Amino acid sequence: MKGNRKNVRETALELLDSVEKNQAYSNLLLNNAIEKNKIDKKDTGLLTELIYGTLQRRMTLDFYLDPFIKNNSKLEKWVLQLLRLTLYQMVYLDRIPDRAAIFEAVEIAKRRGHKGIAGVVNGVLRSIQRQGLPSLGAISDPTEKLAIETSHPVWLVKRWVSQFGYEKTKEMCEMNLTAPLQTARVNVTRISVEDCLLQLEKEGFLVEPSPIIPEAIKCLRGNLAASNTFKEGLLTIQDESSMLAAYALGVKKDDRILDACAAPGGKSTHIAEKLQNSGKVLSLDLHEHKVKLIAENAGRLGLTNIETKKLDSRTIQGHIEAETFDSILLDAPCSGLGVMRRKPDMKYTKREEDLSRLQQIQLDLLEAVSPLVKKGGTIVYSTCTVDREENQETVRLFLEKNPGFEGDLSLADRMPEAVRPLIRGYDIQILPQDLGSDGFYIACLQRKVD
């Protein structure tokens, strides 16, 4: 058991190192490490928690460590990671005694470095144990304090406070520290939600219906991607917020729908399911390898009404005639600030200037695809971000330049009951704390008839 645990922590350290070297944290990275280091199945939960937790709390951990490592400015990167990893266990994991966490950190430091480094690690951790953690109360500026307390960059917390106010920002930052539940969409063209839940229970999963989306389920235990039900094409792993995009489109039988930024096809396949294999979805994406994923997903789900194509949607007008589609989904590339719970390393790599650059791409995409919707048809603009510049501002600028379009106020009629209170006219900004789903934005724009 002890041997294994050391292995878990060394593997966690290795992964934290890779993330630091700019390899984004992903399940793939985690799965490779589990395989390479032959991590016992029962220890994978602890490994995931150590990596997620240490990444999620990095700024808070650094605040706590700072006074104790001031004189060790030449500390190697991996030693700092080891200190963060160990302090995370001491502060946030009650079930691991401090002395055990410190002992193992010192052993790792001896093996990976030398006796001197082990001495530094031991010294820092024992001092913290003796003197206690520095108080966050010493930070006088409330925004800065919130940033450190919840480990979000100060620029982002400032930006959110100016956009949403202090209270909502605080709730959002706190929510971002929690682990999301896995949710999935039942392929109702092939199985009912009730039968799907029963089938998954038989497979040993703990599942329940979503309170938000009629065709969605929540998974309380297990990984649905590993289920036979998933492999048989009866499920798609997808967040509930993302499922709202297909609702906003108001899909009708036989519609021709463009999904302009479609890979890996989560929303295209939802639209195709809503069409019940009638009509057509044209799914575009910039990258060939990503386009393949859309086709693979459609194949797994048994959907035959999706056509895929590699294309830069900004050039679509040279390829497809105007007024071809009944509706268009533009699920635009964005900063992804709504999914920080799932990708904690993102907090430390995003830069404020990225957001304005993205707005230009979003506007270019909207301008390019908009002539392709029929008169009276709808464009749904969506992002998985929580930022006014990429969301409401992008839409405002588009509407300002395109008087042939207006906000579609019938959006609420098409949306599930649970989200209606969040709709403001023709758009909806979901914050992670609103429904427990990802932060997400949807705007519905209608092409005027004349």
In the complex, which residues of this chain contact ligand SAM (CB under 6 A)?
Answer: 242, 261-267, 284-287, 290, 312-314, 331, 333, 365
CB of 175 to ligand SAM, least distance (A): 21
CA 292 to chain centre: 22
CB of 364 to ligand SAM, least distance (A): 8
Dig out the tokens for 187 from the structure: 């392929």
312 is in an annotated binding site: yes
CB of 134 to ligand SAM, least distance (A): 40
Instruction: Region of 377 please: left (phi>0), alpha (psi -120 to 50) or beta.
Output: beta
Q: Which of 167, 237, 103 is nearest to 431 (CA)?
A: 167
Q: Is 384 a catalytic residue?
A: yes
264 is in an annotated binding site: yes
- Choose between 279 and 338: whose C-beta lies nearer to ligand SAM: 338
Q: How many other CB atoms are found less than 10 A from the CB of residue 166?
A: 14
Q: What is the DSSP letter of 393?
A: I
Q: Which of 448, 442, 185 is nearest to 330 (CA)?
A: 442
- Choose between 104 and 331: whose C-beta lies nearer to ligand SAM: 331
CB of 236 to ligand SAM, least distance (A): 9
DSSP readout, 96-127?
A: S-HHHHHHHHHHHHHHHS-HHHHHHHHHHHHH
263 is in an annotated binding site: yes
Dig out the tokens for 443 from the structure: 């705007």
Dig out the tokens for 66 from the structure: 């700072």
Catalytic, out of 196, 334, 384, 444: 384
338 is in an annotated binding site: no
- Choose between 253 and 287: whose C-beta lies nearer to ligand SAM: 287
What does each C-alpha distance from 71 to 65, 74, 75, 120, 162 come to in angstroms?
11, 9, 9, 11, 37
For residues 400 and 366, the answer to whether their CB atoms sit within 8 Å is: no
- Choose between 81 and 210: whose C-beta lies nearer to ligand SAM: 210
261 is in an annotated binding site: yes
CB of 449 to ligand SAM, least distance (A): 28
- Choose between 168 and 310: whose C-beta lies nearer to ligand SAM: 310
Q: What is the DSSP letter of 374?
A: E
Residues with catalytic roles: 384
Known binding residues for S-adenosyl-L-methionine are 261-267, 285, 312, 331
